[in-house]
Amino acid sequence: MSYRAPVKDMLFLMKELADIDAVAALPGFDDAGYDTAAAVLEECARFNEGVVAPLNWTGDQQPSSFKAGVVTTTPGFKQAFRQFAEGGWQGLQHPVEFGGQGLPKLIGAACGEIVNSANMSFALCPLLTDGAIEAMLTAGTPEQQATFIPKMVDGAWTGTMNLTEPQAGSDLSMVRTRAEPQPDGSYKLFGTKIYITYGEHDMADNIVHLVLARVVGAPEGVKGISLFICPKFTLNADGTPGARNDVHCVSIEHKLGIKASPTAVLAFGAHGGEGLNGEGAVATLLGQENRGLEYMFIMMNAARFGVGMQGVALAERAYQKAVQYARDRVQSRPVDGSVKAAAPIIHHPDVRRMLMTMRAHTEGCRAMAMVAAAAFDAAHAHPDAEVRQQNQAFYEFMVPLVKGLSTEMSQEVASLGVQVHGGMGFIEETGAAQYLRDAKILTIYEGTTAIQANDLVGRKTARDGGQVAKAIAAQIAGTEAALAARSSADCQAMARRLGAGRQAFLDAVDFVAGNTRARPNAVFAGSVPYLMLSGTVMCGWQMARALMVAEDRLAEGRDVEFMKAKIATARFYGDHILNKATALRDSIVDGSEAVTALALEAF
């Protein structure tokens, strides 16, 4: 089955939950209202459904290849990327003065989901370029910005982020790549970076590597790390690509999933890959020395939200495929006797349960991400400083949830997709297994789920004593009251579920805020359950809001079937997913001792 972008659901969320009209009222977003969003999403859907999605299976079967330092991407990728760039999709959210369209993150997030649903391996290239552009917008000099950003926005060049080294995974204090200052103010880089997404490929004229390295004589640890711009080809005086720089791909990884995306090992100062004894890779400093990690986190935060959208995207694609199979696969008579002969398996209650779980998870995480994206836009563009600060705090709290929960749920959804297919799901030719394999990386790259949870505990909860979390809980209480004031059984049930979830969330917030210093092992033993609890409640909150809107629209006779489906999905979320919040609360607050009770030597 071909992919169909869920444009109607995205526009519903934009209008009714994320308030795109309020976003369009912000300075700089005057033309970015509902009508613009609808036009952009429809065109995005058309392009990705027709051009990018058909290459997804091809990429899994014919991955990128490496030979003699050259990476050749999957057949069709290069041409599709040209069309992607020419359509202006790389510049969607970037400033108009650099050739972008300057649209809000709210619209960009939806488009990001669409391209990732179509083909996640393909979409990784523009995702990393977006992060590089963001870092340059923040820390680059006017000259650097003018030199590099327009070329990345128009797709002529792409960008990468180079953090990880063989001895330095998530612990970036161990970075050893060396930067030697040169008399002309440039630097020479020497070192090896691994896991570099699209670190080498044939889809663009140049690749702009952003590289974490340590200037000779810099302090040890994270305080001594700087960020450098190191293009594959050095630039001529007129800004065009010139001589080949001394940065070379020495291999690409063979992976469980996202096979079409080349994951490179890059050697800087390797002089063609003959060991780290070359002339050095020419680079320029981005920002100030020893502030590299600060700038890299700008890229990582943008990328973490983007990876969360990848989770939603992959879940949507797996759901669509499972629904189609369940409609087509005939096996056994329904238990209620509604069909007298063997019927499509979508008639069976347990298949319906699996499909509803897939649907509810996907819609809940999409709603959470859309609301977070609107907060990002307000945090950057609202004229009132206090409103900007409130939205920034809300967005920062949501990022680890969008990244952590959406990616974890994508694995569950993709696994259920295989299960719906039965034995055929385990057979590669159906394509269901690709989504499960692709999903696994989402919980790992751009910071594992545990790293997102550590961020949620340390920076987002313990640091302010849980004040931002409790302010969000107060907003949830307002939604509960609105639900309780309605007479429908769906709203009454959702009010109870949301109330129990909010209380579980508050209990966990108090436990985390009150014990992180005194009992760190107890808190961090439950850090991932705390992330899952928080995200589950946030999604439940948005599903509850959607439920009330859908009831109102249904009463008006508008889009009846869509609104009925929205109500049913929200109710399912409350009864089958949100109700798990209380169990998560118990494991966080009461279960920490069991995590560390077993002696180390007993493992």
Residues 26, 260: Cα–Cα separation, whole Å: 39
Q: Residues 6 or more apart from 5 whose CB is under 8 A from it?
A: 41, 44, 45, 48, 49, 114, 117
> Is 383 inside any structural domain?
no
167 in the same domain as 112:
no
* Residue 446 annotated to the active site: yes
pLDDT value at residue 271: 64
Q: Are 298 and 134 in contact (CB under 8 A)?
A: yes
> Is 336 inside any structural domain?
no
Which residue among the candidates 16, 316, 408, 446 is catalytic per the annotation? 446
543 in the same domain as 460:
yes
pLDDT value at residue 248: 96
Residues 550, 338: Cα–Cα separation, whole Å: 29
Q: Distances from the Cα of 256 to the Cαs of 75, 88, 313, 319, 439, in angstroms? A: 20, 32, 19, 21, 10
pLDDT value at residue 225: 96
pLDDT value at residue 569: 98
Residues 519, 526: Cα–Cα separation, whole Å: 12
181 in the same domain as 114:
no
Domain with 229, as residue range(s), is 157-291
Residues 152, 588: Cα–Cα separation, whole Å: 44
Of 263, 291, 319, the position where a domain reaches its end is: 291
Of 153, 175, 200, the position where a domain reaches its end is: 153
273 in the same domain as 261:
yes
> Is 373 inside any structural domain?
no
Pairing mode, strands 206-215 and 263-268:
unpaired
Pairing mode, strands 187-197 and 178-181:
antiparallel
Return the closest-CA partner of residue 266 out of 187, 218, 210, 216. Answer: 210
130 in the same domain as 180:
no
DSSP SS3 for 484: helix
Q: Are 425 and 324 in contact (CB under 8 A)?
A: no
> Is 171 inside any structural domain?
yes
Indicate which CATH number applies to the domain containing 204.
2.40.110.20
Of 93, 121, 153, the position where a domain reaches its end is: 153
Residues 545, 601: Cα–Cα separation, whole Å: 50
Return the closest-CA partner of residue 122 out of 320, 301, 262, 231. Answer: 262
> Is 210 inside any structural domain?
yes
- Which residues make beta-bridge pairs with 251? 265
122 in the same domain as 89:
yes
585 in the same domain as 454:
yes
> Is 438 inside any structural domain?
no
Tally the domains of the chain: 3
167 in the same domain as 119:
no
Q: Are 108 and 92 in contact (CB under 8 A)?
A: yes
Indicate which CATH number applies to the domain containing 97.
1.10.540.10
Q: Distances from the Cα of 260 to the Cαs of 122, 201, 362, in angstroms? A: 7, 11, 24
> Is 316 inside any structural domain?
no
pLDDT value at residue 276: 61
202 in the same domain as 143:
no
128 in the same domain as 69:
yes
Kindly list the averaged pLDDT for each block of 10 residues, start to end, along the chain of length 603: 93 98 96 96 98 98 96 98 98 97 98 98 97 95 98 98 90 91 97 97 98 96 95 96 96 98 95 66 97 88 93 98 96 90 95 98 98 98 98 98 98 98 96 98 96 97 98 98 98 98 98 97 98 98 98 97 98 98 98 95 96
Helices (H) and strands (E) in the chain, counts: 20, 12
Q: Residues 6 or more apart from 114 whose CB is under 8 A from it?
A: 5, 41, 44, 45, 48, 313
> Is 193 inside any structural domain?
yes
140 in the same domain as 168:
no
271 in the same domain as 198:
yes
